[in-house]
Every structure is written in C-alpha cells, then in structure tokens.
Amino acid sequence: MSDAATAPEIHARASGSRRLAFLAAALAIAALPMVLTGNYWQTNLTVCAINVLLALGLDFILGYAGQLNLGQSAFYGLGAYVSTLLITKLGVPFWVAFAAGVAFSGIAGMILALFAVRLRGHYLAIASLAFAVITYQILLNWISLTQGPLGIYAIPPPPSIAIPGLPVIDFRNPVALFYLVAGFTLLVYFILDQLVRSPIGETLTAIREDDISAASLGINAAAWKVFAFGVGAAVGGAAGCFYATFVGTLVPDAFFITESFTILSMVIVGGMGTLIGPVWGAILLTLLPELLRDLGDLRLIVYGLALTLVVLFMPGGLVQAAHLVRAKLGFAKAAL
C-alpha cells in the first residue's frame, strides 16, 4: 500500500487470488452434497449455509461498523414471518415474498439504527436486545396473524425452475435447496467483500475505530451506521426467508434472543471484522455440536464457553489463530 507504483500490482494479484478463492468456494459448494450424501448431512449443509448468511449479516454490523447488534434474531424472524405470511395468506409468489421479507428486515434494521445511532456501544446493544424481545413477543402474541406458539405449518418450498432443454430444478429436493441457499450465500459474500474493500468499507472501519474523528473528517457517521444496519439486517432477513421454506414450519421460539447470542458466538469465534472468519465460525459451531451428538442439550454451553474463551484468549478468533499458526510455521510474510 505504501509504494504507489506497486499498489496496482498488489491489487491485481490480490484480486486474482480472490477470484481463485471464489472459484474454489463455488466448487466446494458444488461438491459437498456429493461427498456428504444422505438426508442427515444434506440437512446440516443447508443449516450451515443459513447460519453463514446470518453470521455474515451480523459481522457487517458488528465487525465493520462496530455496532453490537443483539437483535439479529429479530431480523431473522421478521424475514421468515413476512415472507411466509405473504405466501400462505396472500398467495404472493415466492421470490416476490422473498424480496419483501428481505426489504422488511432491512428497513426494520434501519429504523432501529435511526433510534440508536446517537447512542454509544452499550446503549445500542440494549436497544437492539429490546427490539429482539419486542419482536419475539409480538410474534408470540399476535395470534390472529402468526398463530403464536402453535406455529405455521406446511410452508411450501420455492417453486421449481424449468429452463427449456435442462432438467427441471425442483426445490423439494434437499440438494437443490442447498445449492440455492449456498449459492445465494456466496453471492452475498461476494457483494459484502466488494463493499468492505471499497471506500465504503474504509469509511465504516474509520467510524468503528473512532466515530468522532470520522465525523470531524466530514463523514456522516450516523448515516453510515444506519446503512450498515440496513445491510446486515436485510441479510439476516434473507436467512429467515430461506429458513422458513427449508424447515417448512415456523414457531416464534426459533427467533428467541438466544438465537442472537448463537449468531454472535459464530461471528466472534470465527473472527469479527473479517468476512471469512464468520463463515468458518458458523460452520464450526453448526457442525461441532452435531459431531458431539452425545452432548445433547449441552450445545449452548459449548457456544457460551467458546464465546468467553475466544474473547479472553484469542479475540481475533479462528482467523487470528490461523495467522498465528502460519507465523509459527515460518510463513509470516505470506500471512500478511
């Protein structure tokens, strides 16, 4: 970055390896359902993809804009309920309902941020927690609309896509649904990656480090925080839409505030402020309890323990750990 002449070269090399990484990720997504066959694993793969999406959304707000959002469970739930209600009550086509769910969550995030931007870290954390509690209670108590704790059943999968000359893509097939969710997640990752490496990303980071200094440079810190909240909440909403159609049933308990803490654990364990960190954090924390099936209900104890230990001993999460390992192996330069 320091040498102007070599900067474009570095950038070109970086974007070249980035393209390779995206290609590798796409190939991995394509190959996974073939390697991990069987209903059990294919279900887990889709859960992983949904959790990665949730973690990416939270990380954009927490890791890049520096706002502790404990309301991600609410945006997740709003996306799920808005899209599902539009489909089941009004018969709106899936993709229109999907867009509406995403937009609704994004707008809710921006409204919450408008309330909260004047507040510093802890106030925002509590305001977003309050938002999560209110949303959960409304989902639970507005029985005429959401059927409360009884839940909504038989939510249809996305409609099949029939392209002439190709086999029909039927989303009742779990592999097709996984490809849809994982493909969308990869797309979101790509967009966020572009965003955080653009001047917008630098602006957000400046606000995260010191919003008063950023404001003194003419940056409208409040507006950018609202923007970050809108993007992160919309991504959470998209995850909700997929969750509803994937599981087929909706109950408010899926969007209890505990879900916010779960998503937070994924981001922190992976490494907040990087995009790749939350991806690995989400995958690890989704699969780890599955691998340790005998633990049963102790899943959340593992999450809590991981969250605390990572903050205390490795605040950069898996990403920091990977860097340390690489440095130990003598590739310190390559790691940078």
3-state secondary structure of 161: strand
Give the distance, in angstroms, between the CA of residue 211 and the centroid of all CA atoms in the same chain.
24
DSSP output for 277-304: HHHHHHHHHHHHHHHTGGGGGGHHHHHH
Residue 53 CA to residue 57 CA, distance in Å, equals 6
Residue 116 in the binding site for another protein (CB under 8 A): yes
List all residues 6 or more positions away from 310 whose beta carbon is below 8 Å from its beta carbon: 268, 269, 317
Q: Which is nearer to another protein, 15 or 137 (CB)?
A: 137
Residue 212 in the binding site for another protein (CB under 8 A): yes
**Contact assessment for residue 136 and residue 255, using Cβ atoms and an 8 Å cutoff:** yes
Q: Which is nearer to another protein, 53 or 211 (CB)?
A: 211
**Which of 25, 99, 103, 138 lies at the binding interface for another protein (CB under 8 A)?**
138
Residues 184-203 that bind another protein (CB under 8 A): none
What's the closest the beta carbon of residue 75 comes to another protein, in angstroms?
A: 16
Residue 249 in the binding site for another protein (CB under 8 A): no
What's the closest the beta carbon of residue 175 comes to another protein, in angstroms?
A: 33
Scanning 21-29, 222-230, 262-270, 328-336 for contacts with another protein by CB under 8 A, the matching segment is 262-270
Residue 123 in the binding site for another protein (CB under 8 A): yes
Chain contacts with another protein (rule: CB under 8 A): 66, 68, 115-116, 118-123, 125-127, 129-131, 133-134, 137-138, 140-141, 212, 258, 261, 264-265, 268, 297-298, 300-301, 303-309, 311-312, 315
